Amino acid sequence: MAVASAGPAELGFVEAAPAWRLRSEQFPSKVGGRPAWLGAAGLPGPEELACALCGRPLAFLLQLYAPLPDRADAFHRCLFLFCCRVPPCCAGLRVFRNQLPRKNDFYSYEPPSENPPPETGESVCLQLKSGAHLCRVCGCLGPKTCSRCHKAHYCSKEHQTLDWRLGHKQACTQSEYLDTTIPDHNFLFPEFEIVIETEDEITPEVVEKENESEIIGSM
């Protein structure tokens, strides 16, 4: 009975990349940093991003650009993986999906340019093209705001407290500093691009010949 051969496997390798390549408009696959959301619709809220065991906010681990060109509502589609990184928990894993049709209000109908944009600043963007604000610590939806300046957004009281201790207390009323400087909260994983390559398919006949050569060579 003939067995259908499996298709070629796709392998992902992490590589360093400039910040502009990991932004939402480039539809990246990446590890670490803040999630590059496509839009505000369907984004998980603080309740969904709380660890089921310890209750603390989950950390963004990686995302994969996995479009479905044949589906009008998922021409652009990303899968996001979050995990708990607080010992001794470190067990909670959750996957979310964020998608858009090709024609939408936020991105060009044509593929993104391979060239860097005119401005290549490294400042962190904490607001989606749809207008939704993101948490200064983790980059997820930030429905809470600082009661003092009303400009800093957070997903949780825990992240607001962390940001307050690491500099927001001093910079709270300095709007320019607040917009351009985000401290290292030591909450995010190191950021890298995931480069996808297709593994060359090896047919059974090739494997048999290689094994036969090894046997002959050992005799």
The string of DSSP letters for 172-185 reads: TT-HHHHHH-----
End-to-end CA gap in the chain: 33
In 3-state terms, what secondary structure has residue 167? helix
Q: What is the pLDDT of residue 206?
A: 46
Name the pLDDT band for 209 (thresholds 50, 70, 90).
low
Q: Report pTM.
A: 0.82
More confident residue, 91 or 93: 93
More confident residue, 171 or 29: 29
Q: Is the pLDDT of residue 208 over 80?
A: no
What contacts 43, CB < 8 A, 6 or more positions away?
37, 96, 98, 132, 140, 141
Q: What is the pLDDT of residue 218?
A: 46
Q: Is the pLDDT of residue 34 over 70?
A: yes
